[in-house]
């Protein structure tokens, strides 16, 4: 039985909304960070991060997993995280070197994924990578949230500490991913030795 078009397209539409919300987040973080603007920016980030779970839920529930969705979902995640990382640097809430390490990891893993898929090797996201994403969202959301709203002292220091944990997990999961695809490069080296 064919799925109704609206249901099959729903996960992709939700994923696509993450790109739009990332643009909204950028515009909000460019503004002077008044209490209202900061709260709205946090709300946009919260909703955008939530769509990462919602689109996967609907895709699995309605068996509406598509090639487009598999391509767009990780890209939308990276766009959202990159937007938050880069836009938080000028505010002084996030050191540039932390953002650089996380973004370099994403570029390396994306490249490895491309090489792996070109050889027919598909490696599903590991639980380590999923933990990294969740902790990353929590840390960035905490840094975006304005001070003085909640009775939590040193809120942004806590958020930064969480991002540090996410950075460590990012590097760790990147090394883990390379370990899983290493046989591609080892096989190429063996073939080169035979020539």
Closest by CA to 15, choosing from 61, 62, 56, is 56
* Cα separation, 106 vs 81, whole angstroms: 10
Predicted pLDDT of residue 191: 47
Contact yes or no for 77/133 (Cβ under 8 A): yes
| Tokens representing residue 185 in the block | 């490069």
Q: According to the model, what pLDDT value does residue 155 have?
A: 94
Domain segments of the chain as ranges: 5-194
Mean pLDDT by 10 residues, the chain (195 residues): 57 87 95 93 95 78 66 85 95 95 91 76 71 94 92 93 96 87 64 46
CA–CA distances in Å: residue 60 to residues 19, 53, 55, 65? 21, 11, 9, 7
| 5-194 carries CATH number 1.20.120.1760 | yes
CB 54 within 8 A of CB 14: yes
CA distances to 25, 45, 113, 143, 186 from 137, rounded to whole Å, are: 14, 9, 22, 10, 35
In the prediction, which pLDDT does 7 show?
Answer: 52
In this prediction, residue 14 carries a pLDDT of 84
Q: What is the pLDDT of residue 79?
A: 93
The pLDDT of residue 111: 83
């Amino acid at each position: 039985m064919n799925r109704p078009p609206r249901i099959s397209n729903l996960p992709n539409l939700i994923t696509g909304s993450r790109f739009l919300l990332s643009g909204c987040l950028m515009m909000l973080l460019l503004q002077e960070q008044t209490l209202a603007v900061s709260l709205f920016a946090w709300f946009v980030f919260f909703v955008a991060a939530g769509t990462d779970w919602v689109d996967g839920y609907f895709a699995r529930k309605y068996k509406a997993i598509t090639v487009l969705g598999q391509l767009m979902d990780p890209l939308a995640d990276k766009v959202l995280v990159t937007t938050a990382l880069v836009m938080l640097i000028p505010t002084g809430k996030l050191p540039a070197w932390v953002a650089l390490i996380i973004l370099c990891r994403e570029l390396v893993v994306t490249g490895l994924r491309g090489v792996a898929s070109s050889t027919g090797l598909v490696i599903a996201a590991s639980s380590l990578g999923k933990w990294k994403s969740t902790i990353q969202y929590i840390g960035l959301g905490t840094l975006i949230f304005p001070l003085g709203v909640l009775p939590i002292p040193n809120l942004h220091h806590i958020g930064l500490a969480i991002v540090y944990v996410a950075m460590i997990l990012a590097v760790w999961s990147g090394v883990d991913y390379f370990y899983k695809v290493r046989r591609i490069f080892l096989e190429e080296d063996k073939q080169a030795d035979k020539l």
